């Protein structure tokens, strides 16, 4: 709000839901950002949160799908592998200008 924009986070969004959001926000300055760290970085973060083999496998599967489709959708892809939360926010803010 302080920077004159709003953030909406919806976990994992696929093509169908992304199209619904795009339609709903038609006429607005609607931008989508895909935070796509390297698989190594993602798994390191995942493993720091505990041990869930099924969810870890799903994480790998989703990373591959998003990597394979990174250029298919109208979104801004950010490799957040080496970024802090603040650095990621700053990069998003720069792309909003």
Question: Is residue 53 in some structural domain?
Answer: yes
Question: Is residue 74 in some structural domain?
Answer: yes
**pLDDT for 25:** 87
Averaged pLDDT for residues 65-71: 92
pLDDT at 74 over 90: no
The structure's pTM equals 0.79
Question: Is residue 10 in some structural domain?
Answer: no
Tell which residue, 88, 91, 94, 78, has the closest CA to residue 37: 78
Question: Is residue 8 in some structural domain?
Answer: no
Question: Is residue 48 in some structural domain?
Answer: yes
Q: What is the pLDDT of residues 49-64, one digit of tens each?
A: 888 999 999 999 999 9
Question: Is residue 7 in some structural domain?
Answer: no
Its domain, for residue 68, covers 15-96
Number of compact structural domains in the chain: 1
SS3 45: helix
């Amino acid at each position: 709000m302080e920077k004159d924009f709003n953030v909406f986070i919806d976990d994992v969004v696929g093509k169908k839901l992304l199209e619904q959001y795009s339609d709903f926000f038609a006429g607005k300055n609607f931008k989508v950002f895909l935070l796509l760290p390297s698989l190594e970085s993602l798994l390191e973060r995942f493993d720091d949160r505990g041990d869930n083999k099924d969810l870890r496998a799903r994480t790998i599967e989703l990373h591959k799908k998003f990597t394979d489709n990174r250029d298919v959708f109208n979104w801004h892809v950010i490799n957040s592998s080496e970024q802090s939360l603040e650095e990621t926010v700053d990069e998003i803010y720069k792309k909003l200008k």
